């Protein structure tokens, strides 16, 4: 049933891709990429209860791995993206092993430190291209798609396909025994441990899978900007993704697309609002950030479990 | 059952919202030449207007718009009005990439050409990400001195205007060797193509640098500046301290020196990118006493030199069309680029195409007039704009006066070519600052 839903949704996107202009396809690619990143946060934080403020660093690991695979090792772009996910996943596995004993604010602090320090590491190793970074080129769309098939449509197809596959995978994962044990671990680790669940190993597993997914989304992100560099993964990216996840429901995968939309749409809305309303320099500079923060606060106060639950409650009342 | 139904509903609702959001605009009809209609020419600029780089360079789009408004009020370009669309990229390469893509794509802003793209790291990324070469989008008068933008194999549609950092460093080397022989030289530069361009220029200029410090773009903190200055303060004599960075970093270094009381320990030299006195004092609150005596290079007349005909004309345009914005070197530079842009559009003729614009600048660009005190070097084989500098000293009012009282202009290239004294005579300004070229 879930598979049918995903295939149906993929079909809609395919048809949509033919009907909209390149810029909307470009924005759509970002929506899909952010949705994937948000899905990784939902898996880690919503389902397994571990807070990560450093997902931008994991995305960076995947992005660099993918870029090196394509540019330095000359591998096919699809392999490059797979490498992005795998390397980030392994990195997450190792990281998970290290931080397995940490919880709550301590885990958050560690991941925060990672997010701040990791991208600038690229400046230390020449092979990582320093500030200029490494080119991430997935090449032109295959010739068989014809002249009119633009680069941006190709990006859109790749991002949507990758995101659909991975979100479907995660959705399946959390509806299995794994999902239930994750939630048990999240809600009451001690009780979970007592009932025989290996909390430590599961935490690491969740971390690894989440990192892999984040790495893939990092690879997609730098594909869209044709190159990876440390400045592509600032700390604010971690916060944006976390905000997107909270706004659209941290405990449920259903809102990831909306989350991606919010992250892409908010700067646009803020920009057009600002140009209409005008105002002082300071206002124009800080308004988009204010909008995002305000949204986050409203979401936490009114829909802590995401808008999906609001709709459910409304229907139950009926 | 209820749970599954409502979950499905939410996911379908999300899908519909996503779909609806994307189809909000219908596909526009493809214009013959993108961004050009019978009555309008759309130009685009991606530059920072927020963040610390925004404080330094935020006036550029407004200055350009002011000049274009002036031209529009006087008939436009062959009857077409110029519309400049600005997108704030906050001096971040990733944002520059997406903003430039937005400017260029037909269902985005759909501009005819880009003008004044700002920043080395930002624009190198944006040029590639937005496929400017593939779409043959003219990329005029970029606001960066990175010499690499003159390479037509990598940037086939780009025209530089500012003299390169390599040129500046070479001429600076000559100036330092002649006037400060025997003093140690220290360099603080941005760690990317911008700073590295400068470093190679100093090498080509034969200058021995005692200490080079590179910092990642706009990230020189006050603490690091203080420790740097404390270390350099131990050098003997009165070292020459060259700052090749953006204005926000120049300000950080100068303010650190103020708090350490080291202002008079060094001979300060600010690279042209980060040396606008008005921005340093007004925008970043550096003490006027600190910049008094600071050396800076320029290829324009000083923005406070009201005797210069271009400066006074631009000041008038600024007062009328850019109300509330104080006139300084940044505004001067923006308006000058706008003036060059208008001449380029005129030279391309009434039948405006992207190829036509590019070849118009190649063939006629060297004859364009502007406030620059050095020649423009556009040709079929050169995308280089201005290619020289004069050295001046700032006084406490922030005016840049020629060093030693006499204006000496030098021109050179970005490679190993010689530095030559320039006898360029700047052409008179067209009446009222309105170009009439064709």
The reply to whether residue B15 touches residue A12, judged by beta carbons under 8 angstroms, is yes
Q: Do A19 and B23 lie within an 8 Å CB cutoff?
A: yes
The whole-number pLDDT of residue A100 equals 78
pLDDT of residue A249: 81
Please give the order of strands across the beta sheet that includes B40-47. Answer: B81-88, B40-47, B113-115, B139-142, B158-160
Can you give the pLDDT at residue B236?
A: 87
Write out residues 378-417 of B within 8 Å (CB-CB) of A: none
CB B94 to CB A281 under 8 A?
no
pLDDT at position A275 is 67
| Residues A270-292, mean pLDDT to the nearest whole number | 68
Residue of B nearest to A30 (CA): B98
Average pLDDT over residues A293-304: 81
Helices (H) and strands (E) in chain B, counts: 14, 14
- Residues of A with Cβ-Cβ distance to B128 under 8 angstroms: 135, 226-227
Segments in A196-280 forming alpha helices (H): 199-224, 235-247, 256-277
Q: What is the radius of gyration, based on Cα positions, of chain B?
A: 23
What's the whole-model pTM score? 0.85
In chain A, where the domains are located: 2-317
Across the interface, whether the CB atoms of B50 and A23 are under 8 A apart is answered no
Select from A255, A35, A268, A16 the least CA-distant residue to B22: A16
Q: Contacts from A106-109 at CB under 8 Å and sequence distance 24+?
A: A107/A50, A107/A51, A107/A52, A108/A51, A108/A52, A108/A53, A109/A53
Q: β-strands B81-88, B139-142: how paired?
A: unpaired
Closest residue, chain B, to A134 (C-alpha)? B125
Given an 8 Å threshold on Cβ–Cβ distance, is B6 in contact with A132? no
DSSP string, B217-273: TT---HHHHHHHHHHHTTSSS--EEEEES-HHHHHHHHHHHHHHT-TTTSEEEE-GG
pLDDT at A119: 72
Residue A62 to residue B318: CA distance in whole angstroms: 49
- What string of pLDDT tens digits covers the 438 residues of chain B? 445 555 556 666 665 666 555 554 444 444 578 999 999 999 999 999 887 788 889 999 999 999 999 999 999 999 999 999 999 888 888 889 999 999 999 989 999 999 999 998 899 989 988 989 998 999 999 999 898 999 999 999 999 999 999 999 999 999 999 999 889 999 998 877 778 888 889 998 889 898 898 887 767 889 999 999 999 988 888 999 999 888 889 999 999 999 999 988 999 999 888 888 888 998 899 999 999 999 999 999 999 999 999 999 999 999 999 998 999 999 999 999 999 999 999 999 999 999 999 999 999 999 999 999 999 999 999 999 999 999 999 988 889 999 988 888 999 999 889 999 998 999 999 999 999 998
CA distance B422 to chain A (A): 35
When mean pLDDT is compared over A87-101, A138-152, B89-103, B339-353, the highest value belongs to B339-353
Chain A to chain B Cβ contacts (< 8 Å) = 132
* Residue-averaged pLDDT of chain A: 84
| Closest CB to A23 among B92, B107, B131 | B107
> What integer pLDDT is reported at residue B176 of this predicted model?
93
Handedness of CA B3, B5, B8, B9 (dihedral sign): negative
In a mutational test of the B interface, the residue from A28, A227, A231 whose CB has the highest number of chain B CBs within 10 Å is A231
**Do the Cβ atoms of B121 and A231 come closer than 8 Å?**
yes
Distances B139 to B66, B116, B146, B161, B375 between C-alpha atoms, Å:
20, 8, 14, 11, 20
Taking the Cβ of residue B51 and every Cβ of chain A, the question of whether any pair is shorter than 8 Å is answered with: yes
Give the confidence band of A232 by pLDDT, cuts at 50, 70, 90: confident
Q: What are phi and psi of A248, to 5 degrees?
A: -105, 10
Residues of A in contact with B58 (CB under 8 A): 281
Taking alpha carbons only, the member of A91, A108, A2, A109 closest to residue A45 is: A108
Read off the pLDDT band of A136 (50, 70, 90). Answer: confident
Smallest CA-to-CA distance from B142 within B81, B57, B42, B206 is with B57
The per-residue DSSP string of B13-35 comes to HHHHHHHHHHTSSPPPPPPSSTT
- Residue B84 touches chain A, beta carbons under 8 Å: no
Which residue does chain B place closest to A24, by CA atoms?
B22
Distance CA B195, CA B197 (A): 5
d(CA A269, CA B6): 29
A225: closest chain B residue by CA: B129
CB contact under 8 A, A120 and B216: yes
CB B98 within 8 Å of CB A225 = yes
Q: How far is A72 from chain B (nearest CA, A)?
A: 19
Question: In this prediction, does ipTM exceed 0.90?
Answer: no
Of B14, B21, B108, the CB nearest to A255: B14
Is B31 near chain A, with CB under 8 Å?
no
Inter-chain touch A27–B22, beta carbons under 8 Å: yes
Residue whose structure tokens are 């084989």: B381
Name the token pair of B141: 């008068």
Instruction: Report the C-alpha gap between B201 and B198 in whole angstroms.
Output: 5
B125 to chain A, closest Cα gap in Å: 8
> Which tops the pLDDT comparison, B38 or A274?
B38
Give the pLDDT score at B161.
Answer: 96
Question: Which pLDDT score is estimated for B402?
Answer: 92
How many of the other CB atoms lie within 10 Å of CB of A109? 14
Q: Considering only the beta carbons, identify the residue of B7, B17, B131 that sits closest to A254.
A: B7
pLDDT at residue number B11: 60
User: Inter-chain contact A284–B107, Cβ cutoff 8 Å?
Assistant: no
Mutation for testing the A interface, residue in B8, B10, B57, B324 having most A CBs under 10 Å: B10
User: B34 CA to chain A: closest CA distance, Å?
Assistant: 14
Give the closest-approach CA distance of A203 to chain B in angstroms: 27
Judged by CB atoms closer than 8 Å, whether chains meet at B7 and A27 is answered as no
A306, closest residue in chain B (CA to CA): B10
Which chain A residues touch B25 with a CB distance below 8 Å? Answer: 20-21, 24
Q: Which of A120, A229, A258 sits opposite B93 (nearest CB)?
A: A229
Fold entry, domain A2-317 = ABC transporter involved in vitamin B12 uptake, BtuC (1.10.3470)
Q: Cβ(A47)–Cβ(A187) under 8 Å?
A: no
- Mapped to the 3 state alphabet, what secondary structure does B275-339 carry? CCHHHHHHHCCCCHHHHCCCEEEECCCCCCCCCCHHHHHHHHHHHHHCCCCCCCHHHHHHHHHHH
Q: Domains in chain B, please, with CATH?
A: 40-164+304-388 (3.40.50.2300), 165-298 (3.40.50.2300)
To test the contact with chain A by mutation, choose from B9, B14, B197 the residue with the greatest count of A C-beta atoms within 10 A, namely: B14
């Amino acid at each position: 049933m879930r598979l049918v839903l995903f295939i149906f949704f993929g079909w809609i996107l395919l048809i949509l891709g033919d009907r909209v202009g390149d810029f909307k396809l470009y924005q759509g690619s970002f929506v899909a990429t952010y949705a994937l990143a948000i899905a990784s946060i939902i898996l880690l934080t919503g389902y397994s209860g571990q807070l990560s403020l450093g997902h931008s660093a994991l995305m960076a690991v995947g992005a660099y791995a993918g870029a090196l695979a394509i540019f330095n090792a000359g591998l096919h772009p699809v392999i490059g993206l797979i490498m992005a996910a795998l390397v980030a996943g392994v990195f997450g596995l190792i990281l998970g092993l290290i931080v397995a004993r940490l919880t709550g604010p301590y885990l958050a602090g560690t991941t925060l430190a990672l997010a701040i320090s990791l991208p600038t590491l690229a400046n230390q190793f020449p092979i990582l291209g320093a500030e200029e970074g490494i080119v991430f080129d997935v090449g032109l769309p295959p010739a068989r798609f014809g002249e009119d098939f633009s680069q941006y449509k190709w990006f859109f197809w790749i991002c949507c396909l990758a995101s659909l596959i991975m979100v479907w995978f995660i959705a399946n994962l959390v509806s299995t025994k794994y999902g239930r044990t994750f939630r048990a671990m999240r809600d009451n680790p001690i009780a979970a441990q007592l009932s025989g669940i290996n909390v430590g190993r599961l935490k690491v597993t969740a971390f690894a899978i989440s990192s892999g997914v984040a790495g893939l989304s990092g690879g997609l992100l730098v594909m869209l900007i044709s190159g990876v560099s440390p400045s592509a993964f600032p700390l604010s990216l971690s916060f944006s993704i976390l905000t997107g996840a909270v706004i659209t429901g941290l405990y449920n995968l259903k809102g990831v697309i909306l989350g991606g939309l919010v992250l892409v749409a908010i700067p646009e809305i803020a920009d057009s609002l600002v140009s209409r309303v005008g105002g002082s320099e300071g206002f124009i500079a800080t308004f988009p950030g204010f909008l995002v923060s305000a949204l986050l606060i409203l979401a936490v106060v009114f829909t802590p479990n995401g808008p999906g639950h609001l709709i459910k409650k409304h229907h139950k009342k009926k | 059952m209820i749970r599954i139904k409502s979950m499905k509903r939410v996911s379908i609702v999300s899908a519909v919202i996503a779909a609806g959001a994307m189809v909000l605009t219908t596909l526009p009809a493809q214009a013959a030449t993108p961004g050009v209609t019978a009555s309008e020419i759309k130009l685009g600029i991606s530059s920072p207007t927020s963040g610390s780089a925004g404080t330094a360079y935020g006036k550029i789009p407004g200055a350009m718009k002011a000049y274009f408004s002036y031209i529009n009020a006087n008939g436009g370009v062959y009857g077409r009005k110029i519309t400049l669309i600005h997108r704030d990229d906050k001096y971040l390469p990733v944002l520059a990439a997406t903003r430039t893509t937005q400017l260029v794509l037909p269902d985005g802003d759909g501009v005819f050409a880009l003008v004044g793209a700002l920043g080395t790291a930002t624009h190198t990324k944006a040029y590639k990400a937005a496929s400017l070469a593939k779409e043959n989008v003219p990329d005029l008068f970029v606001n960066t001195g990175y010499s690499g933008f003159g390479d037509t194999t990598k940037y086939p549609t780009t025209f530089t205007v500012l003299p390169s950092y390599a040129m500046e460093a070479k001429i600076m080397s000559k100036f330092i060797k002649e006037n400060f022989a025997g003093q140690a030289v220290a360099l603080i530069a941005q760690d990317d193509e911008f700073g590295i361009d400068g470093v190679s220029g100093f090498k080509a200029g034969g200058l021995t640098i005692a200490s080079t410090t590179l910092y990642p773009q706009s990230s020189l903190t006050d603490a690091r500046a203080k420790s740097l200055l404390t270390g350099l303060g131990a050098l003997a004599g009165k070292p020459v301290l060259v700052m090749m960075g953006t204005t926000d970093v120049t300000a950080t270094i100068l303010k650190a020196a103020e708090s350490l009381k080291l202002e008079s320990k060094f001979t300060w030299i600010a690279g042209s990118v980060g040396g606008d006195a008005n921005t340093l004092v007004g925008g970043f609150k550096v003490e006027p006493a600190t910049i008094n005596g600071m050396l800076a290079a320029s290829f324009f007349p000083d923005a406070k030199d009201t005797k210069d005909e271009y400066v006074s004309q631009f000041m008038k345009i600024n007062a009328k069309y850019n109300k509330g914005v104080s006139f300084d070197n940044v505004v001067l530079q923006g308006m000058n680029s706008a003036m060059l842009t208008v001449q380029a559009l005129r030279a391309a003729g009434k039948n405006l195409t992207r190829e036509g614009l590019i070849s118009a600048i190649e063939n006629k660009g060297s004859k364009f007039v502007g406030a620059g005190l050095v020649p423009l070097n556009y040709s079929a084989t050169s995308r280089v704009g201005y290619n020289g500098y004069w050295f001046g000293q700032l006084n406490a009012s922030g005016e840049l006066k020629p060093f030693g009282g006499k204006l000496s202009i030098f021109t050179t290239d970005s490679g190993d070519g010689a530095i030559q004294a320039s006898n360029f005579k700047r052409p008179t300004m067209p009446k009222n600052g309105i170009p009439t070229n064709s």
